[in-house]
Each structure stands twice: as structure tokens, then as C-alpha cells.
Structure 1
């Protein structure tokens, strides 16, 4: 005797194979949902695993302080003796070189090039012994022999460098040639968001570079702690000690980890977001198909009820079908996700490390797929509750899923919708247009699916494109705590920094190619926090009120200070509050004038009103160029002329700094665009196929009273076009308004210093081209599915 389980499975198999088109479309949408959810979860797990694996091997510092200038080693030793939580510490010496001073040659092919396109600092250093190791692809810490060098792994792809190439370093006394012996992964500076990258040379070659006097010497004071969680306490204690070197940026372990994971982590978040939208679309369609199936098979359901089958058994027949369909989609999506994850995390494996497989590697994707499965099955159960409300007489006699009372209420609602919409009351539309409008109003509950799907598809393709456009926009520099400009010159601490600043300013202000030259000084203040006095880097100068967008308040005037979002949160201050600061033993209280966004220097910066100051930790000069003038050429000219200044074209600098993020977002935006169009086409096809089947009788009546096939087809296409346009327009408006705070809140939660994100998209692309692509897709599917109606025997329509 056949068991109930096998009966359910046999029914599910027969039903699935009997209506292949509808179920195949559902399977594709469910598979895409499962695929993206699993891929997003696996990319996040693999990305964090790669970063964690590199961190475990390389042992980056829990706290570090960059410094330019002399170092009091005795003060550092006294500080370490007073803090038993310090496990180990050292001072890393490095020499920063401009990319233009580095060139390479491949002897056996004659190929050559230089690193001038790289605008970040190229730091030459030696291998560390205890921690902060720079590792090769095997996880070992290489120690180059004299005449050898290990380059950052990112330079291998950026400049097509290979082992055996010769790297030349230009010095005043000639050039130093080093053979590329390998490439290293740097846990501290792997991300493009880092302002520098490190090269590993031998002790002898490092001393040669020091003796040659090239580049800018820098020091990094690094600490490993017994407990990484105490890094913030150590930082406060370090900054409170005036004898310690702190002429540079302080960085914590968590900040390093966050910056490293940000690029690919953003892709994972985007994929999960896309998956959630696709799941919503899939759920809408599952609900539509189940309700349609119940309506189509209501007489069969009535017959089963009449012979005594319980409601639960009848629901089980349908639930089994959708359980099998969803399970198959999860399997297919999960298998596809394994392949996609390997491709998406290839860069992470190269830049960081090969993440080992652990329990989380299996649990995370399975949990993601289980979430998709549970969502779909819960919805199916909810919709199948309608089976309990089907009455035997209503099903067998009237073919209705509603009892008499509910059917009467439905008819009254339809009558109210149609009332006042007689054919004569909608002049200007023509008879076909008026009939289509009447049908849309009467069957609004059925047709609402299309606008909802196109609304979600528009959001799905627009938000990732808006985010990508924002990060690629030249105006994104305003999110980096700086005004939008063409050139930026940085002068770090040196013995003659004030004289160099004066000469640079004079030259730039006399240069007819440059306009709006502005100078700022970086001063090291101390601010009174909860744990006492701590270092606060303040940019002092005449701040233009319109230079950057303030989240709250405005630019500082005399006696005022503007704080970055993270600093305002750290000190618990808002507009109008006072902040006690001191410098050189003189204490004063400044009023907070505004709060701005900044993703540089860890997001902890401040701006104050004042004039250019001598004895500052560093200076910055911003300038714009005349139209038609090449900013890169001018930057190169000034960079070569002033050895201790770094002059960069801002747009290119921002592009390189965010290259890891924008590169990742480009992939996510492309996936979103393709999937949105594909899903919109699938659902439109599925919807119209079912609607055309159910409207055969209505079309037959219209044909019998004299409407031509072309007119009937025009009505279907018109209803579809209107539904598609309404959904697309509403989706575009939502993405441009509510989309900003939604995405901004996610980035704000990441702790990068962004509290409010204003989209900076390409309006022609996201507000014109994308909506037109969606509308065209919907219309073309309608044309394709209605075209065969011209060849159909019209008499079959009246037979149902």
C-alpha cells in the first residue's frame, strides 16, 4: 500500500512536470535568491577568514603610532616598563619614496616601466622579527639577501611585475638596482584605503638608501598586547605622555582589521541586500502562483473535501510540491555559490591569505540557505490556509475558493472600484484604453504583482549603482574631510618644513595656472576626554563654509572647533558644547561649531579657525587649476621641485585610495543590473502566461462582440506597460529618497566615520537609462507572449 509520503511526492512530481513553464520560472527565481544569499554569506566568511588567517600569521600590532622626526628611545622604554600589558614592542624604521623614483625592467623581454602612477607612499623597510611580519605566499617571513627586494603583492597585478624583474631606485648618486625575489602580504597595509605600502629589503640595502639621503625617513612605534581589547587604554596612556613621539597618525588593531575587510565586505553586504530583495520577489511570486493554482484547481479541491480528505492532507499535497521546488533551488543555488565565492574571493586570497576550512565554512552557507528555505515554506503554509476556507458547495458548483459571504463582499468591492469608471467617463483613452483601465481597477489585487516586482527590481539595480557612483565621484573627497580641489600638497614634519611651506605657497600663488590656493596647518592639541588628556590632531586655517558638507552645524570661526563624526561621538559632544583643549601648556575651551564626515586618519580629525602656524606637525595646501590645465602634470612638476612635499592630483588620489572598494562595487552593481533585468523578464513572462490562461473567456467574449485580435492584444500590452511603468517610477523615487538613509545607516554602523551618505550618482544612468531598460524589458516580454494570440483559434477562448 502506498504511504502518504510517497503519495505526496508522486503528486508533486506529476504537478511539477505537468506545468513546466510556471514552475521553471519559479525555480529560477528561487535559485537566484538562494545563490545570492549563500554567496554573500560565504564571501563574508571567507573574507574575514582570510584576514584572520593573515593576522594570525603576520601578528600585526595592536596599537601603532606613526612618527616623522627624532625619537626618544629612553622615553619609549620607560613607557613600556610602566605597562605590563605590553607583550612586545619595537620601532620600525622606513624610508618613504615617491613612485616616480622607482622603475623596473624585464631583461629577457626588454619590457620596462615605472611606479609613477602610484600616488601612495612607497615605504622601504626591513623584515621584522617578533611581530608585524611581511609574509610571502607560503606564509613565511622572507629575509632578502643584499641586492634583492620583495614587493607588495598588490603591485604584482597593478604593474604586471614578476619575480626576476629589476627594480631601480633613483638616488642623487645614481640608481640602486634590486632584483625582485618575491612578493609579500602586509597585514597592516594591504588595503587600498591605506595611505602607504611596504617593500622589504636587506639591512645592507636599507643602510645604502639611508646613506643616499633619498626619500623621507619615517618611524612606526608598534605594540603587541597580552589583550587586544586594551589597545584603547594603551592609546590614551601613550597620548597622555608628552615625552613620546606622536607626530603622525595613531592606528589600532580594530581599525586595521576594519579597513582590510571593508572592500570585499561591502560586496558581501551588497550581495546579501540583493538576495533579500530577490527573496521578497520570489515570495510574492510563490504567493501569486499558489493562489492562482488554488483558483484553477478549486473543483478538484472541493471533490477531495467531499470524499472526506482533511484540510491538512490537501494542503500537504501542495506544500510538498513547493518544498521540493525550494529544496532543489537551495541545492542548485548553494552549488553555484561555491563556484562564485571562489571567483569573488580570489583577490582576498592573493592580498591576504588562504582561509582554512572550518566549521563556520559549512555552517554559514547552510544557515543562509536554510533561511531562504524557511522563508518560502512559511509563506506557503500561510497561503495554503485558504484551503480551510474553501466550501464544498462553492467549489463544486460555483468554482470559487470563497464562501458565499466572502464572494458577495468581493463582488461589492469590484463594483465600487468600477463605479464611476464607465467607458464614457474616461475620454481621450479610446475604447481599448478605457477597457484596460476598467480591468486594472477591477482586478487590482491580481495585477499589483507586476508593479511590486518592478519596484523591487528598480531598487535592486539602482542602489548598488548609486553607491558605486558615489565612491567614484570626484566629490567623494568631501567625505574624506577635505574640500573638493584639483591639487593637494602635504608637507610633513622636517627641520625646514616652515621654510618649504612658505616657498611652496609663494610659488603656487604666483602660478597663473593655479587658483584658490589655500593653506592649512596640522597642530597636535590635547583634548580632555573621559580618561584624561589625549592627543587631538587639528587642521587649523580659514575654512570655507561651503568647502565640505557638514552633517550638523557648520565651519568653525574664532574660538570654535569642528569635529569629525567619530570624534564627536567619542567625546559625546554636539553643536554648541564646549571642548577643553590645551597646547604648549595653555588651556582653552572651544565651542563645537559643526560635525563633519571623514574616512581618513581613522575618522578621528578636527578643524579649527586660525592662521598658518609655525612649528606645526605638518601643512597642507589645496589649489584648483584653470580649465584645460592638466592637474597631474602640475602635480608632478611641483613634486619634483619640492623634495619634502608630496603633491598629488586629488581626483587620481581618491580613485587609487578607493580602488579596492570601487572595484568590488563594480562587480556587485553589474550582478545587480543583470539579475534585476533577468528577474523582471522572468516574472513578467510568468505573470502574463498565467493571466492569459485565465482571461481566455474574457478575450473570447470581446472577440465575439467585435473586437479584433489586435485590439485585444493592445489591451493586454497596455495594462502590462502601465503596471511596469508605475512600479519602475515608484522604485526610482524610492531609491533616490529613502535609499540614501537606508544605505547610509549601514555604512554608519560599519564605524568608518560616515554618518550621512548623500548619493552622488550619474543621473542619466540610474534615473534614465536603468528605468528605460526595465520598462523596455517588460514591454518586450509582453510583445513576445501576446504575439502568438494572432494565430490562436478564437473559438477555444469561449470554451475556457
Structure 2
């Protein structure tokens, strides 16, 4: 009998059942895809790490050094160091790399280096995670450049530097554990030993070095870095620990997975609300049947079982359908992972773990349904036979009489009035609209924020039009001075500021010495947004990045003192501000130029500048790139987009997909809500028609009420995405060094395009859904 009643209910409520089914299916599909991504990400990272054998400590260095000194240090630290290897990089500017129809890689923010495969560890792999073995005349190109410039295996690139010029055929993608991510500022092209030797002999490119250490199982990374500093070994470049490479590799895919999980959770909430709407509508229709069942002695538990069985069956079928669809959807989100990390190293594990999504959602829905169905227990058989279960329990005070209406037409006023009088019913729809808008707008805000010029401030860079980075060469000081003089005399440059970053020793919380990268210059011209305090303005002042100031770093606050050492002399600096920086592991600092340059450990130099009004930025960039071929000239906006390219691209997919799904959900929910409302108002509609109101006028009342709720829901949802969304994004980014993200909203997208899109979709839904509802036999409806 119960199965027959469930089957009849499915047939009677096809649209409602389909709507709830779709919400559950979408929620499971997205949740399973996110879990699948995470389950794939973890073993993929482990497999890549196992095969690539990355360094635990990498010291980048420019300039000459004696390898025997490194060897002696390694032998002295055998307790901590298992292996040591030095990779020689031949670094060229992108303008020296030619491909396609007279195109070059000029303008890339990445440092391009040509290398040969290592012998001991830090191997560069192919797409099968096998150690690359490049044949003579071939080159393995980093995945980043293959994607960015749409290169393919078999294409030719030409390297031209001074008297050196040679064509190379692209033979492989280079999957580089240490330099895969766009967040790392360098990329390695792999050559055959013979081709590399020729390039080396012809002195093509600047020589740079990666002095790498692989630690023993119990090796102490911090102890090695401290000993390295105290030994005075070559350190003309940043030091990077292996954990940073792990973070950068996992970041983009983990961020996408977290966003998908958030959207899935919001969809589950909407599914719950939708089930509640369905229940209210069904109860209004079945209230007399419920009364009869109670009157003939059927228990409350058995009556609940009738309705619960429906949702059990629906949850199982929708869950399995969503789970199967996730196998196809997941490829939209994990393409980046499969390309940069591993094609398929996780086996069946992701499929097994992602099955938890339909199981968990099934139990959540069943538990929620049980709580909702308790409403049946509160009504006696007599009450069920006499009244409408969802009708108000007491008379409401009569408000908003028609006599007081001065601004709206009669039908619109009646619709607005109905929202106020029955707000307990409409508040459910309002909540759904708020959650749906939040789900669509938040990814859009994140996407716009990453594409915004202001995002550079979260990378520790003041907002400017362009910047020029100088490579570490023997003539860098002279080149830097010449560039500065030319900028002073260039009328096209409105303002500019030079910055020099050096490595200093800093006393940590335990009293020992670590490295810290301090940038000196005038930070008033291109200011950062400070979480606390202000920029350094004089001698003895320093600002710290959030990661450096936090408890896991130096554990400092504004007003605290920091002790640094340069040239064997200690200086005590006062912290005047804390800023956000997601580069270099987030651990940077800035000080006034009065601190002085640590000439023994200069890492890099750059100049930020704004061009005068009317000056073409691209032309000015090209002029300086031509004049200073050894430098890297970039547009700051392009710098952030290239650095965060993978995340931005994946976020764009989420934005489009999220909006499409949200609009479809709102259409279905609106139709579902209207059905519930109409089922409650049949007698009232019949009375209105009997006194002369047309079907069109009645439809306008429902449209006015629903659109009013839609406008309010869109407003509150957009505001929630601004404030609550900002909190959630900041919480996630705090692990990277940015604790307070200010989301950028494009006004016409948030407050015009999105509301207009929803209003059109809902208006069409209302028009289509209302037509059959407000027509029919008056006599039959008056009997209800």
C-alpha cells in the first residue's frame, strides 16, 4: 500500500519531484567532484614528489663560487644532508626565445633557464612522470609555456643570444616539481647534454646556480640553513624550502576544490529548503487524507513512512545519478591537475572516497525529512479533517488596507501586501534567493579580485603601471644606476621608485638566526594597503609581511623590535606596519633606504613607475625592453594575471557554471513555490474571479509578490557575498600570507546584470506557471 501511495505521489507531483531530484543530484555531483579532486590531488602530489625527488633546501645564487666549499660543508653536515647537487642554469630573457610566426616570449614575468637533467635528485619529468631524456636537437618545454603560448610537440623554437642561434624541436612537456606552478617566478627548459654544452661554451645567457640539498630522514632544515649562513657560503639569491614547492603545486587545485565544496554545501541547503517547500505543498493537498488515515487508526510512524519513503527513493536515485555524472564533470575541474601533476596515479581511490558524497547527503536529507515530517504529529485527526495544516494558527491583525494605497496599482499592491501578511511562508523563498545569489556572486567577486590591478598589493607590490626587474649580473649596480638616471630625465614617466631586495640575518623567537628578505626603498610613492600601522619612513623602521609577523614567523606586532644582522653588525628595528604578501612563501619585509644595502647578499632590484597621462604603456615598455635587454619589463596587471593564471582560468569556469546552475535552480524553485502557494489559495482565487478579477490580474498579484521577494533576496545575497564572502576568502588566503582580502565587485555585474537576469528568468517562470493555476472550474474551486 505504501509503495502504491509513493508511486501515486510521484505521478501527481512530477514537476516538484523533478525539481527536488535535480537539486540533490547537482549537490551530489559537485560534492563528489570536489572530493574526487582532493582524493586525486593527494596521491598525485605524493607520486610526483616520489618520482621527482625534489630538494629539501634550494639556495639560488648569482655570481661565481667555489664548489669545493659546498662539498666540504656537505661532508661536515652528513648528519643532516643525504645528497647535494648544483645545477647550472643558463638564463635568457624571453625576447631571445622565438617561435611560430616571428613571435617571442618577451613580456613573460617568468625567468627562463636552460638546463640539463640532474643526476642525483630534483629530476624534471615528462607527462608520464618519467625522468626526461632529451635527444640532441630537442627541448622539453615547461607546461606553463606550452599552455601560455599554445605550443605543441613537434613545434620549433629558436634561441638567439649574441652570436648563438639554434633551432630546437619541442620533444616533450617538462613537468617540473619545483617550478611547475605559475606562482614560482622561474621555469626550466631541458636540453640534451651536447646542446647544453654548446650553449654554455657560446656564453648564451647569464649563469645562475641552484645549490640544492636533500636531507636525511631526520635532517633539520633550519639547522642546515643557519649553518650555511654562518659558514659564509654563496647566497646571492633566495633560499626556498621544499614545503613551499608543495604548497605552490597544490594551491590552485585545492582552492578550486574548496570553492566547489562551498557551492555544493549551499546547494544542499537549497535542497533542504526545497524539500520543505515540497512538504508544505503536499500537506496542503493531502491534509484530509492524513486525517482519514489517523481516524482509521494508522500510526503516526506509518504515515510519516509514506512520505519519507518517497525521499529515500529519490535521494538514492538522485545520489547515484549525481555520483555517476561527477565522473564527467570532474574532468572540467581537474584538467590542470592532470596536466601539471599526474594523469592518473590515484587508481580507484578517488572513486571510492567520492562515493562518500551521495552517502552523506542521503543521510542528511533523511534526517532533515524526519524533522520536517514531525509536523504531522502535532495535528489531530479532527484538525486535519477540518483545517489546512499550513494555514496560520491565529488571525493576523488587518494591515495595509487598500484605502491607504497611493503609489501602486491595485494588483501590485495586493501582491506586496500578501508578502507582509504571510511573511512566514515567503521567508523560505527569500532565504533560497539569498543563498542562490551568494552562491553565484562570490566566485564572481573572487574572479574579479584576482583580475584587478589592486591584487598586486596582496603580492607585496605597490600599485603601478609597470615595473622593470634587473637580473643579477656583474654589472647590475652600474645598470641600475644608468636606468635610474634615464628615468629621472624621461618626461613620459610621471613618477618612479627604485627598490633593492637583500638577504639579512634576523633573530628568531628562539634566539637563533634565520634569513629574511628585506626590500629597501621609498614606499610612499607606491604604497601598500597595511593591515596595521604604516610604511617605514626613516632609519630604524621596518614593516613585516603577515606571514613573518604571525606566530609561526617572528611573532611580532606593530611597535615590537626586530634584530637583524648585516655585515656582522646587529641593528634593532621597530615594526611600524604589517602588510600582506603571498609571494616567496609570504615571508618578506620592507625597510627605509636608510637601512642600507647588504651588498654581500643582493637578491634582486626593480623599479616601479607610472607613465604620464596620454603615454602608451605598451610602447614605453617596448622601448625600455629594447634599451635594456638584460632587464625584464612587465605590466603590473599582466604580472598578477600571469602569476595566478591557472587559478584565474579555473575560477572562470566555476563562475560560468555556477551562474548557469543557479539560474536553473531559481527557476525550478520559483515554480515549486508557486505551486505550493496556489494550492493553498485555490478558494481565494475562485472568490477573486467570481467578483470580477481576471486571470491576468491575479497573475500580476503573484508576480508582484514573488518579484518583490526576489529583489530583496538578491540584495541581501549580494551584500552577504561582499561581507561574509570576504571573511571566508580572507580565512582561506591567510594560509598564504594574505589575511584580509577586499573583494572587488564590478557594479554593473553585481547590481545590474545579475538581478536583471534573475528577474527575467523568474518573470517568465511565473507567467508560464500561473496561467494554468488561475484558470479552471470556479465551482470546483469554491468547494475546496
Per the TM superposition, whether the score is higher than 0.5 is yes
Whole-angstrom CA distance in 1 between matches of 2:720 and 2:604? 45
Match of 1:65 among 59, 69, 84: 59
Q: Could you tell me which residue of structure 1 aligns to residue 580 of structure 2?
A: 597
Q: Could you tell me which residue of structure 1 aligns to residue 332 of structure 2?
A: 343
Do the aligned residues in 1 keep the contact of 2:107 with 2:634 (CA within 8 Å)?
A: no
Give 1:381 deviation, angstroms: 0.7
Whole-angstrom CA distance in 2 between matches of 1:244 and 1:571? 24
Match of 1:399 among 387, 394, 402: 387
Task: Provide, for residues 253-308 of structure 1, a one-character-per-residue CA deviation record: whole Å limited to 9, x for no partner.
Answer: 22111111111222111111111111111101111212332232122222222222
Q: Could you tell me which residue of structure 1 aligns to residue 493 of structure 2?
A: 514
Give 1:560 deviation, angstroms: 0.9
Task: Provide, for residues 715-754 of structure 1, a one-character-per-residue CA deviation record: whole Å limited to 9, x for no partner.
Answer: 1111111111111111112222232112211222xx2111
Matched residue of 2:464: which SS? coil
Alignment map for 1:9-158 (pairs within 5 Å)? 9-81=3-75, 82-104=77-99, 113-158=103-148
Do the aligned residues in 2 keep the contact of 1:96 with 1:216 (CA within 8 Å)?
A: yes
Do the aligned residues in 2 keep the contact of 1:190 with 1:197 (CA within 8 Å)?
A: yes
Q: Could you tell me which residue of structure 1 aligns to residue 518 of structure 2?
A: 538
Do the aligned residues in 2 keep the contact of 1:700 with 1:794 (CA within 8 Å)?
A: yes
Task: Provide, for residues 518-556 of structure 1, a one-character-per-residue CA deviation record: whole Å limited to 9, x for no partner.
Answer: 111212221100340111110111111761101111101
Give 1:74 deviation, angstroms: 3.3
Give 1:182 deviation, angstroms: 2.1
Do the aligned residues in 2 keep the contact of 1:287 with 1:379 (CA within 8 Å)?
A: no
Do the aligned residues in 2 keep the contact of 1:470 with 1:760 (CA within 8 Å)?
A: yes
Whole-angstrom CA distance in 1 between matches of 2:134 and 2:542? 48
Q: Could you tell me which residue of structure 2 aligns to residue 563 of structure 1?
A: 544
Whole-angstrom CA distance in 1 between matches of 2:745 and 2:498? 30
Give 1:150 deviation, angstroms: 1.5
Structure 1 residues 454 and 137: alpha-carbon distance in aligned structure 2, compared to 1, 3 A threshold: same
Matched residue of 1:571: which SS? coil
Task: Provide, for residues 38-73 of structure 1, a one-character-per-residue CA deviation record: whole Å limited to 9, x for no partner.
Answer: 111112222333332222211111221211122342
Whole-angstrom CA distance in 1 between matches of 2:218 and 2:235? 21
Structure 1 residues 546 and 389: alpha-carbon distance in aligned structure 2, compared to 1, 3 A threshold: same
Q: Could you tell me which residue of structure 2 aligns to residue 287 of structure 1?
A: 276
Give 1:117 deviation, angstroms: 4.8
Give 1:415 deviation, angstroms: 1.5
Whole-angstrom CA distance in 1 between matches of 2:676 and 2:715? 25
Q: Could you tell me which residue of structure 2 aligns to residue 258 of structure 1?
A: 247
Give 1:139 deviation, angstroms: 2.7
Do the aligned residues in 2 keep the contact of 1:497 with 1:618 (CA within 8 Å)?
A: no
Match of 1:715 among 686, 694, 701: 701
Whole-angstrom CA distance in 2 between matches of 1:236 and 1:316? 69
Whole-angstrom CA distance in 2 between matches of 1:500 and 1:737? 47
Q: Could you tell me which residue of structure 1 aligns to residue 613 of structure 2?
A: 627
Give 1:27 deviation, angstroms: 0.7
Whole-angstrom CA distance in 2 between matches of 1:297 and 1:770? 38
Q: Could you tell me which residue of structure 2 aligns to residue 649 of structure 1?
A: 635
Task: Provide, for residues 672-696 of structure 1, a one-character-per-residue CA deviation record: whole Å limited to 9, x for no partner.
Answer: 1111111111101111122223211
Whole-angstrom CA distance in 2 between matches of 1:508 and 1:491? 14
Matched residue of 2:752: which SS? helix
Matched residue of 2:520: which SS? strand
| 2:207 is the counterpart of 1:217 | yes
Task: Provide, for residues 699-730 of structure 1, a one-character-per-residue CA deviation record: whole Å limited to 9, x for no partner.
Answer: 11112223232322211111111111111111
Q: TM-score, normalised by structure 2?
A: 0.95
Whole-angstrom CA distance in 2 between matches of 1:381 and 1:614? 69
Do the aligned residues in 2 keep the contact of 1:732 with 1:771 (CA within 8 Å)?
A: no
Matched residue of 2:79: which SS? coil
Give 1:792 deviation, angstroms: 3.6
Give 1:228 deviation, angstroms: 8.1
Which stretch of the first structure deviates more once superposed, 215-224 or 330-339?
A: 215-224
Which stretch of the first structure deviates more once superposed, 775-784 or 267-276?
A: 775-784
Structure 1 residues 625 and 672: alpha-carbon distance in aligned structure 2, compared to 1, 3 A threshold: same
| 2:759 is the counterpart of 1:759 | no
Alignment map for 1:456-467 (pairs within 5 Å)? 456-467=435-446
Do the aligned residues in 2 keep the contact of 1:528 with 1:580 (CA within 8 Å)?
A: yes
Give 1:252 deviation, angstroms: 1.8
Whole-angstrom CA distance in 1 between matches of 2:604 and 2:99? 32
Q: How many residues align?
A: 776
Whole-angstrom CA distance in 1 between matches of 2:541 and 2:266? 46
| 2:532 is the counterpart of 1:548 | no
Alignment map for 1:667-678 (pairs within 5 Å)? 667-678=653-664
Structure 1 residues 453 and 143: alpha-carbon distance in aligned structure 2, compared to 1, 3 A threshold: same
Task: Provide, for residues 747-796 of structure 1, a one-character-per-residue CA deviation record: whole Å limited to 9, x for no partner.
Answer: 22xx2111100012322112321122122222221122223457544444
Whole-angstrom CA distance in 2 between matches of 1:251 and 1:328? 50
Give 1:135 deviation, angstroms: 1.1
Whole-angstrom CA distance in 1 between matches of 2:256 and 2:339? 17
Alignment map for 1:414-433 (pairs within 5 Å)? 414-416=395-397, 418=398, 420-433=399-412
Whole-angstrom CA distance in 2 between matches of 1:614 and 1:516? 26
Whole-angstrom CA distance in 2 between matches of 1:184 and 1:236? 33
Give 1:390 deviation, angstroms: 2.0
Gaps of 5+ in 2: none
Whole-angstrom CA distance in 1 between matches of 2:66 and 2:184? 27
Structure 1 residues 709 and 542: alpha-carbon distance in aligned structure 2, compared to 1, 3 A threshold: same
Q: Could you tell me which residue of structure 2 aligns to residue 179 of structure 1?
A: 169
Do the aligned residues in 1 keep the contact of 2:27 with 2:265 (CA within 8 Å)?
A: yes
Matched residue of 2:5: which SS? helix
Do the aligned residues in 2 keep the contact of 1:53 with 1:354 (CA within 8 Å)?
A: no
Do the aligned residues in 2 keep the contact of 1:62 with 1:228 (CA within 8 Å)?
A: no
Whole-angstrom CA distance in 2 between matches of 1:791 and 1:339? 43
Give 1:422 deviation, angstroms: 2.7
Whole-angstrom CA distance in 1 between matches of 2:323 and 2:220? 40
Alignment map for 1:248-327 (pairs within 5 Å)? 248-327=237-316
Do the aligned residues in 2 keep the contact of 1:744 with 1:756 (CA within 8 Å)?
A: yes
Do the aligned residues in 2 keep the contact of 1:266 with 1:665 (CA within 8 Å)?
A: no
Give 1:342 deviation, angstroms: 2.4
Q: Could you tell me which residue of structure 1 aligns to residue 481 of structure 2?
A: 502
Do the aligned residues in 2 keep the contact of 1:267 with 1:665 (CA within 8 Å)?
A: yes
Q: Could you tell me which residue of structure 2 aligns to residue 743 of structure 1?
A: 729
Match of 2:647 among 656, 661, 664: 661
Which stretch of the first structure deviates more once superposed, 87-96 or 590-599?
A: 87-96
Do the aligned residues in 2 keep the contact of 1:509 with 1:515 (CA within 8 Å)?
A: no
Whole-angstrom CA distance in 2 between matches of 1:507 and 1:363? 63
Do the aligned residues in 2 keep the contact of 1:97 with 1:214 (CA within 8 Å)?
A: yes
| 2:562 is the counterpart of 1:579 | yes
Give 1:400 deviation, angstroms: 4.2
Which stretch of the first structure deviates more once superposed, 300-309 or 137-146?
A: 137-146
Task: Provide, for residues 438-460 of structure 1, a one-character-per-residue CA deviation record: whole Å limited to 9, x for no partner.
Answer: 32233222111221111111111
Gaps of 5+ in 1: 1-6, 106-110
Do the aligned residues in 2 keep the contact of 1:27 with 1:329 (CA within 8 Å)?
A: yes
Q: Could you tell me which residue of structure 2 aligns to residue 470 of structure 1?
A: 449
